Structure 1
């Protein structure tokens, strides 16, 4: 069991993952009341999928028959050079600079699964990358990947929080790792910096107030009460991560697919405002930005264009 665990971790490192940890596939008892309360308070906004498959979300054995282990991997996406972030520049979240992470991580996890089949034998399991009712952060925490920060992202002492999370849920018994302690201490930088007050209290994010929600998930008009609070973010938002002291340890990723399209790196404010369907299709061909479609991106640009934010994050 221990040998299998070590071999899987070694192969994960060879494939380029920045962390690999293991937890037992069991019912997430401590997450159930938390999730229930969050949903009851309507903090998922219009993300109705968050309320679906409640039982599967909490029990991996309902996703993979006979599941015994959850293998969690992290893949860093912190860029060597950020896109222009000046007070007059439109901004997109760093995770959306390059190729959509679903493709990249899924391919790597499929390779890890193939390795398990070749080296260990007939192991049943599935690959998960943010595409099924799996509580990524809960499993990451249990696997020792890090702790849940006050901004609700997983924080790792070595690399900060700019990474993607993926899982293999397997019917193979493996040696589990343990969680690490919380190192947020008395720091409240993320709470203080959030322009829309989405971090309502430490460790609780009201998804329906988050700039990422407004610019990606919300399909209708953005509410007037948040006009002037977006700090020029037009797809996603990195504010709570950018101000986090642990991200001073963030280091450039080693995944070429996460580099921005060359044209995107040269985008001016005018390019954003005059973007056409052809340019959108070319620059964001395999990018997460495609989720908003061109109309959604234009809506976001017009929304921030019409107001200068009074609360810039220093």
Structure 2
């Protein structure tokens, strides 16, 4: 019996039971094609004030440095596309932040999957990783056939678009490996044409330091005045390059209760956001991704939008 095939089938079946959209597997090793791209991106200062992006350069490109003796990178996608969209007359928030903080949701599912693998297979060494770790998650997803990296630098799939989280399990276990799919962006330039700040500086190249998500979430300083009038009321993140992508017409609402939108987030008007108190914010959005900027950060963004 082919144990690699048996283990692979089991892992993909368990991932499906846990609610993951899809699961792809690649052989762990150095991401040779990504190395010059990442180096050039950092040299261009496209990471802006996100200094952490320059950390762990070698580990970012080689999972065997993160998990000694690792053999496989398992990449998992978890849908977050909401059934309801927030009040259009309000300040805008990225769809991924509508519900509970995805880190805790993903972490729980990844731990369950790793536990199931160890119960079924035995002593398997491995670790779970999400977007805060030095892992090239989109590269591994593409390498594992889960989609292609589009011109907006997001992972895109023909069946469900791009509104999903990406996470990995890196294991010292040999498995059957998937193969990359083909690029289906074609001649489309919808994302480049629609980006409010021209952050997509060339097809497949995003200058992170020009992105609205960077300005509204990552940047702790005041937003540069030259960006005035370009934000179209985005208060936390930005979905424009995904909203205009033709493949996202195939996005389907998620089935994860913890990602259900906060009722306040859907109903709040601009006035509600402008007048929200620290007490209310803390009480309502305790486990929300909005906690990343704290209320102070949101108020800073609102002030910039209102000027």
| Length-normalised TM-score, structure 2 | 0.98
Show CA shifts across 1:130-182 (max 9, x none): 12100100100011110001000000111100000000000000101001000
Q: Tell me the CA shift for residue 259 of structure 1.
A: 1.0
TM superposition outliers: structure 1 runs of 4+ over 3 Å: none
2:50 aligned with 1:50 = no
Contact persistence 1:128–1:166 (CA under 8 A): yes
- Are 1:161 and 2:153 matched, yes or no? no
Tell me which residue corresponds to 2:293. Answer: 292
Once the two structures are TM-superposed, the CA of residue 108 in structure 1 deviates from its matched residue by 0.3
Write out per-residue CA displacement over residues 21-42 of structure 1, whole angstroms, 9 at most, x where no aligned residue.
1000000000000000000000
Give the deviation of 1:266 after TM superposition: 1.9
Does 1:120 find its partner at 2:97? no
Moved more, 261-270 or 45-54: 261-270
Q: Which residue of structure 1 lines up, in the alignment, with residue 108 of structure 2?
A: 107
- Flag structure 1 segments of 5+ consecutive residues without an equivalent: 307-314
Contact 1:191/1:202 (CA < 8 Å) preserved in 2?
Answer: yes
- Counterpart residue number, 2:8: 5
Q: Tell whether the 8 Å contact from 1:148 to 1:182 is kept in structure 2 after alignment.
A: yes
Q: Are 2:49 and 1:75 equivalent residues in the alignment?
A: no
- C-alpha contact 1:264 1:283 (8 A) present in aligned 2: no
Q: In the aligned structure 2, how far is the partner of 1:47 from the partner of 1:289?
A: 18
Distance of 2:186 and 2:161 partners within structure 1: 15
* Mapping for residues 197-216 of structure 1, pairs under 5 Å: 197-216=198-217
Q: Report the Cα distance in structure 1 between the residues aligned to 2:183 and 2:192, rounded to whole angstroms.
A: 17
Q: Is the 8 A contact 1:21 1:143 kept in 2?
A: yes
- Alignment correspondent of 2:241: 240
Q: Take 1:124 and 1:218, find their aligned partners in 2: how far apart are those partners?
A: 37
Q: CA–CA distance in 1 between the matches of 2:141 and 2:223?
A: 32
TM-score of the aligned structures, taking structure 1 as reference length: 0.96
Measured after TM superposition, the shift of residue 254 of structure 1 is: 0.5
Question: What is the Cα deviation at residue 264 of structure 1?
Answer: 2.1
**In 2: Cα distance, 1:85 partner to 1:119 partner:** 48
CA RMSD of aligned residues (A): 0.7
Match status 1:32 vs 2:31: no
1:22-66 Cα deviation digits (max 9, x unpaired): 000000000000000000000000000000000000000000010
- Partners of 1:264 and 1:233 lie apart in 2 by 14
Aligned residue pairs, count:
304
Give the aligned partner of residue 62 of structure 1: 65
